[in-house]
Chains A and B, each alone.
Chain A
Amino acid sequence: MSFDVAAVRGQFPILSEIIDGLPVHYLDNGASAQTPLTVIDAVRRYETTGRANVLRGVHRLAERATEAYENARAQVASFLGVPTMEIVFTGGCTAAINLVAFSYGALLKPGDRILLSELEHHSNIVPWQLLRSRSGVELDMLPVTTDGRIDLSALPRLVTPKTKFVSLAHVSNVTGALLDVRTVVEAAKAVGAKVMLDGAQRAPHGPLDLPSLGIDFYAFSGHKAYGPNGIGVLWGRSELMDAMPPFMGGGSMIGRVTLAETTWAPSPRRFEAGTPPIGPAIGLGAACAWMQALDWAGAHEHEMDLVQRLMDGLQKIDGTQIFGPAGLQNRYPVVSFMLDGVHPHDVAQTLDSFGVAVRAGHHCAQPLMDRFDLDGTTRVSMAPYNDNSDIDALLAGVAHAAKTLR
């Protein structure tokens, strides 16, 4: 049976809104995805029937809240294919990466090397630069190919016995390119380096089986994966997590506190200081359940059909150029393009007047823009609920910008 996009759309109330007389053609999913009713319902259920703090009270609302929070952890774990107690809830993907850079980083020594790439989001560069200035580790950068992929042919040169940690985007938020994880893991394991993937742009496209990837840490954000804001996930192997010092101190993360000394709770509590974002975690659990119930073989094929339609349409507009993989292999539905003679912000602004939401600019990847001497790109990022009408509205808008703004 073919993928029923109308049925999926029906679960996202915002997609049938009319705003200022315009329909919602939402193609900025890479920044934040929309959220289905089932997620909104789960959050509402918590807020209206089980709202309390977690892990602290003995009353029944506290028990309900704790159970819903821990069920959400189990749901996220099942989405990633990992043990429940290896899931840490964070404020977002950025917070998860900072946690690892701080806490795993505390185990590193001056002169140890960390391998990143030139296409990383700032949130997978800056935390490591902060670590460098704290502790004297060195950073190496994998280059990027002209079709927007991390250039793994540089691995033999850049992975050395000094390399202790590798942190790369699973899917690029600019080009949509999927990382060849196996090759990275092989090279890293050969020197005993740990591997983290920034899964912000991969998690919204279906369940994962992290153990089969051979990696050590994984991070993603709830709001890009159809869940609420203010929640993110860090997965880490428990033997590594239990060896890491805390990132933040406070309630819930302790074993025992005396004024002289405090012992740490084991992971994940050790890394969840203070009252966590309970409602958002519950919403993210529901979002994972929603994703797990979707036909992803059908959804992926549908998303790739949209990518093809977009690429074909852009090709017919004079002066467009795609920055990223030209084909449909090993990519996800994030497509960046340039329109000759028109700045990406002006493209995006014009698209807004067609009811089309996209992102324009450097996409928090300035080193990548510098490397290719780009002012920025216009980025179309899709989700399973997008349809042909979204792509066609976008193409009409780009054609209009091409005609009027240059």
Chain B
Amino acid sequence: MSDQLYQERIVALAKAKTGAGKLENPTRTVRRDNPLCGDRVILDVRLDGEGRIAEIGHQVRGCLLCQASASALSAVAVGRDAAGVAELRRDAERALGREPGETHEPFDAFAPVAAHKARQDCVLLPLEALKDALS
């Protein structure tokens, strides 16, 4: 066996289910599908007066990587505006080896996915959805 992908931190993020569920009064709800693998993310966000995320909720129908990513995102999204979310996206890209530079908590947990190109979109899907929600 050569099991490098599902390392403890990724599994723990997925199991934590941070932010899982719907919001009562979302400002925006977006849905993003990955047509190749069928992963689906529905994000609810509540924004404050300045366009910053006050609350976030996600429903993921997808793999462990997608769930872990939605969970990681929910843990650090509150208080961020579109630019702040773009910074998280760059951090994820760095973890996946698509951009140079150091990555930070929590997206550094996804470094093992750098070697699995076919699965990288699973990690990025929740970030795509959040970008939609803020644009």
Footprint of B on A, CB under 8 Å? 20-22, 342-346, 349-350, 353-354, 361-362, 366, 369, 375-376, 397, 400, 404-405
User: Which candidate, B22-30, B57-65, B97-105, is the interface stretch facing chain A?
Assistant: B57-65
Partner pick for A343 among B5, B11, B63, CB 8 A cutoff: B63
Cα(A366)–Cα(B61), bound, Å: 14
Within 8 A of A (CB), among B12-65: 37-39, 61-65
Inside 8 A of A350's CB, which chain B residues have their CB?
Answer: 3, 6
- Residues of chain B at interface, number, CB under 8 A: 18
Query: In the complex, are the beta carbons of B63 and A345 less than 8 A apart?
Result: yes
Which residues on the A side are within 8 Å of B62 (C-beta)?
343, 345, 375
15 contacts between A and B (CB under 8 A): A20-B2, A22-B2, A343-B62, A345-B119, A346-B6, A346-B65, A349-B6, A353-B5, A354-B1, A366-B38, A375-B62, A376-B38, A400-B3, A404-B6, A404-B11
Closest partner residue, chain B, to A343 (CB atom): B63
**List of A residues within 8 angstroms of B122 by Cβ:** 345
In the complex, A350 Cα to B11 Cα: how many Å?
A: 13
8 more contacts with CB within 8 A, not counting A346-B65, A361-B37, A405-B6, are: A21-B2, A343-B62, A343-B64, A345-B119, A346-B6, A353-B3, A362-B38, A405-B64
Nearest opposing residue in chain B for A354, CB measure = B1
B48 CB to closest chain A CB (Å) equals 34
Q: How many cross-chain pairs have Cβ atoms below 8 Å apart between A and B? A: 48
Given contacts A346-B63, A405-B11, contact A361 B2 (CB under 8 A): no
Q: Which residue of B lies closest to A21 (CB)?
A: B2
Set of chain A residues within 8 Å of B37, measured between Cβ atoms = 345, 361, 376
Give every chain B residue within 8 A of A404 (Cβ-Cβ): 6, 11
Which B residues touch A354, using CB under 8 A?
1
CB distance from B64 to the nearest CB of A (A): 5
Binding site for A on B (CB under 8 A): 1-6, 11, 37-39, 61-65, 116, 119, 122
Separation in Å of the B134 CB from the closest CB of chain A? 27
- Find chain A residues with CB under 8 A from B3 CB: 350, 353, 400
The interface residues of chain A lying within 8 Å CB-to-CB of B11 are: 404-405
Cα–Cα, bound, A238→B2 (Å): 54
Q: Which chain A residues border B4 with CB–CB below 8 Å?
A: 353
Chain A contact residues: over half helix, strand or loop, or mixed?
mixed
Q: Which residues of B contact A346 (CB under 8 A)?
A: 6, 63-65
In angstroms, how far is the closest chain B Cβ from the Cβ of A314?
Answer: 19
Chain A min CB distance to B15 (Å):
8
- Within 8 Å CB of B6, what residues of A? 346, 349-350, 404-405
With a cutoff of 8 Å between Cβ atoms, the chain A residues found around residue B65 in the complex are 346
**Contact B1–A400 (Cβ < 8 Å):** yes
How close is B51's CB to chain A, nearest CB, in angstroms? 33
Complexed CA–CA distance, A344 and B65 (Å): 12
**Which residues does chain A contribute within 8 Å of B39, judged by CB atoms?**
345
- Highest count of chain B CB atoms <10 Å: which of A346, A362, A375: A346
Give 7 closest A-B pairs by Cβ, nearest first. Answer: A343-B63, A345-B63, A353-B3, A346-B64, A362-B38, A353-B2, A346-B63
The reply to whether B5 and A349 form a contact with Cβ atoms under 8 Å apart is yes
Bound-complex Cα distance A349 to B3 (A): 9
Residue with the highest number of chain B CB atoms closer than 10 Å, among A345, A353, A376, A404: A345
* Complex Cα spacing A21 to B3, Å: 13
Which of B5, B6, B62, B116 gathers the greatest number of chain A CB atoms within 10 Å? B6
Interchain nearest-CB distance for B37 vs A (Å): 5
By a CB distance below 8 angstroms, the chain B residues around A405 are 6, 11, 64
Q: How far is the CA of A400 from the CA of B39 in the complex (A)?
A: 23
> Which residues of chain A are within 8 angstroms of B1 by Cβ–Cβ distance?
353-354, 397, 400
Q: Give the residues in chain B near A366, CB-CB below 8 Å.
A: 38
A369 contacts which chain B residues (CB < 8 A)? 38
A345 to B63, CA, bound (A): 6
Chain A residues lying within 8 Å of B5, measured Cβ to Cβ, are 349, 353
**How far is it, in angstroms, between the C-alpha of A362 and the C-alpha of B35 when the chains are bound?**
10
What is the distance, in angstroms, from A359's C-beta to the closest C-beta of chain B? 11
Distance of A404 Cα from B1 Cα, bound (Å): 13
How far does the Cβ of B1 sit from chain A's closest Cβ, in whole Å?
5
**CB-nearest residue of chain A relative to B66?**
A343
